[in-house]
Amino acid sequence: MPFTDTADATHYLASVFQAGFDDPEISPALAKSGLVLRMDVTEPELVMTVDLVNQTIHTGDSDSGAPEANMTLGLTADTANRFWQGKVSVPLAVARGQIKLGGALPKLIALLPSAKPIQQRYVATLAADGRADLIA
Host domain of residue 31:
6-126
Structural domains of the chain, count? 1
pLDDT above 90 (res 113): yes
Residue 136 falls inside a structural domain: no
Among candidate residues 90, 78, 84, 75, the one with its CA nearest the CA of residue 124: 84
Among candidate residues 82, 95, 84, 25, the one with its CA nearest the CA of residue 50: 84
Q: If you average pLDDT over residues 109-114, what whole number do you get?
A: 92
pLDDT above 70 (res 83): yes
Is the peptide bond preceding residue 44 cis, with omega within 30 degrees of 0?
Answer: yes
Residue 70 falls inside a structural domain: yes
Residue 57 falls inside a structural domain: yes
Strand pairing class (71-76; 36-42)? parallel
Reduced to 3 states (helix: H, G, I; strand: E, B; else coil), residue 28 is: helix
pLDDT above 90 (res 64): no
Residue 118 falls inside a structural domain: yes
- What would the pLDDT profile of 3-33 be if each residue is shown by its tens digit? 999 999 999 999 999 999 999 999 999 999 9
Residue 131 falls inside a structural domain: no
Is the pTM higher than 0.75?
yes
Q: CATH number, domain at 122? A: 3.30.1050.10
